[in-house]
Structure 1
Amino acid sequence: MPATRSPRAPRRPSSPAVPDTAHTDWHDLRAPNAWLLMLEGRAPWEYAALLASLPWMKKLPHGDGHPVLVFPGLGANDLTTAPLRALLESLGYATQPWGQGFNFGPRAGVLEQAKADLQALHRRHHRKVSLIGWSLGGIYARELAKECPELARCVVTLGTPFTGHPRATNAWRFFEMVSGHTSNDADLMAQIRTAPPVPTTSIYSKSDGVVAWRCSVNEPSPLAENIEVQASHIGLGVNPIALYALADRLAQPDGDWQPFEPKGARRWFYKAPERP
């Protein structure tokens, strides 16, 4: 097992350019409007942009070979995360898909299998595992990191609705239909809203047409941050700007996590957070 540097106290991330979540009335949040939902048609163009940028993306800092477990979104399977995993493999990471077919919610045995996969991946590599989740898949990533923090290196979510009103999305009816669970469980949402005790990044878009963007905002803390990108919900996992930020987060040394800073050329693509 490779040696790691002694943990350094992370800088406290500055407050993101979003409303103070402590004073947000989550019941006032609404699902994205019809115009934003129509903008989800951008996704094929985002994938085309990824293909065009691959020569540049493959020059990103290479990882240290640690394992990465990737969870797809609601109603999606591992095919949708294949481009993301292929990019990370090219950067030196050992990726693993979730391997449970279509993600139809936390049905019987799903979370138990996800935990078993995390434990097996940790045993096989003798390294902590980074957990990546797209949309609903991000809920699995966050909850696994809470249950097994000793196995989790970091969590990165893409358009994941972990806070806000449970029905402030355009997918809640589909979720209830395929999962058999209600989407309006206040106790469950209170649990999900809490960030994991490991470095946690939420990559979100204010033009998300499926999830109200405020539902994807972590309350700032020493180990939780938010990165805003311009993307559709369906295209977040193939959007080159989102994947650049994701790769940047994974490349940090274990135990030496620092918040994302949009400096230099990054300022063209990422909005600088507001200073308190």
Structure 2
Amino acid sequence: MNIDLSLPPQFPKPTLLDILAEVRAPFEFVSLALNVHALSKAPKGNGRAVMLVPGYLADDHSMRPLGAYLKYLGYDVYYTELGRNMGKVNTDMMRLGERVKSVSQDLNAEKVTLIGWSLGGVLTREVARLFPDVVQQVLTLGTPIVGGPKFTSVGKRYAMLNNIDLEEFELDVHQRNAIGLTQPVTSIYSKSDGVVSWQASVDIYNQQARNIEVNSSHMGLGVNPKVWLIIADVLAG
């Protein structure tokens, strides 16, 4: 991966057309019913622990459809139990880390695989970095890996609500990412994402990272049958 990481790369934000196309998210959820056969044929799990982490302003309920599917496949599914994700990354990554640590201890030191949607993926990556002894693998869905909120359609509002400087925050995110992860990591992204720049969702920091493109809205990534099949394949790999 021959990329100059001395400074964070710069990317465009999602276009207006991408933002408007987010209206298709409910249809992606409905399409699950049309793909029941393919979903039922996905590779089965081995009972390992998987924790699902919701995105910005969402809570565990947003992850329950995916959780029900992974449980059907044979995984031991856990949720954050931290309430709504309000974007307090520095606080929430420690809270989530303690939650993952607790689950691992309850499972006799078994490591936990983390799956995070959007900002939830930022949290999973930070937990993997700070608590490597309890994290087995990381998968992210439409996560703003590069630049944090800067290259998202909600970045300015997020910065205002959280009283942060987007440029300074971008550098902090870049420095954290540059440390790298030791676990297997997979980033699932869509070039028609209307919330997060697809380029910012590509992991350029880790040699072992798998970046997988899908056709999906941002709001539909967690309920898209193709995404579910990819997750099933990655977990079984």
Give TM-score scaled by structure 1 length.
Answer: 0.78
Which residue of 2 is the match for residue 200 of structure 1? Answer: 185
Which residue of 1 is the match for residue 19 of structure 2? Answer: 37
1:10-89 aligned within 5 A: 21-22=3-4, 28-89=10-71
Which residue of 2 is the match for residue 188 of structure 1? Answer: 172
- Aligned residue for 2:150, secondary structure, equals coil
How far does residue 77 in structure 1 lie from its aligned partner after superposition?
1.0
Which residue of 2 is the match for residue 236 of structure 1? Answer: 221
Runs of 4+ in 1 over 6 A off after TM superposition: none
Check conservation: 2:114, 2:137, Cα contact below 8 A.
Answer: yes
Give TM-score scaled by structure 2 length.
Answer: 0.90
Check conservation: 1:74, 1:175, Cα contact below 8 A.
Answer: no
Q: 1:209 aligns with which of 169, 178, 194?
A: 194
Change (3 A) 1:27 1:251: closer
Which residue of 2 is the match for residue 170 of structure 1? Answer: 153
Change (3 A) 1:131 1:108: closer
Q: Deviations over 1:105-148 (max 9, x none)?
A: 12674222211111111112232100110000001100111111
Which residue of 1 is the match for residue 92 of structure 2? Answer: 110
Check conservation: 2:118, 2:140, Cα contact below 8 A.
Answer: yes
C-alpha RMSD over aligned residues = 2.3
Q: Which runs of 5+ in 2 are unaligned?
A: none
Check conservation: 1:162, 1:192, Cα contact below 8 A.
Answer: no
Q: Which runs of 5+ in 1 are unaligned?
A: 1-14, 253-276
Q: Deviations over 1:163-218 (max 9, x none)?
A: 14741111113323444444431432213433421000000001111111110111
Q: 1:218 aligns with which of 203, 209, 213?
A: 203
Which residue of 1 is the match for residue 111 of structure 2? Answer: 128
1:146-161 aligned within 5 A: 146-161=129-144
- Letter of the 1:189 counterpart: V
Check conservation: 1:104, 1:178, Cα contact below 8 A.
Answer: no
Q: Which of 1 and 2 has greater Rg? A: 1
Which residue of 2 is the match for residue 97 of structure 1? Answer: 79
Distance 1:158 1:62 in 2: 21
Distance 1:146 1:222 in 2: 15
Greater fraction of residues in helix: 2
- Letter of the 1:137 counterpart: G
Check conservation: 1:142, 1:155, Cα contact below 8 A.
Answer: yes
Change (3 A) 1:107 1:25: closer
Change (3 A) 1:178 1:59: farther
Change (3 A) 1:153 1:50: same
- Aligned residue for 1:146, secondary structure, equals helix
Check conservation: 1:136, 1:161, Cα contact below 8 A.
Answer: yes
Which moved further from structure 2: 103-112 or 38-47?
103-112
Distance 2:54 2:165 in 1: 20
- Aligned residue for 2:20, secondary structure, equals helix
Change (3 A) 1:31 1:234: same
Check conservation: 2:149, 2:158, Cα contact below 8 A.
Answer: no
Equivalent pairs: percent with the same residue? 35
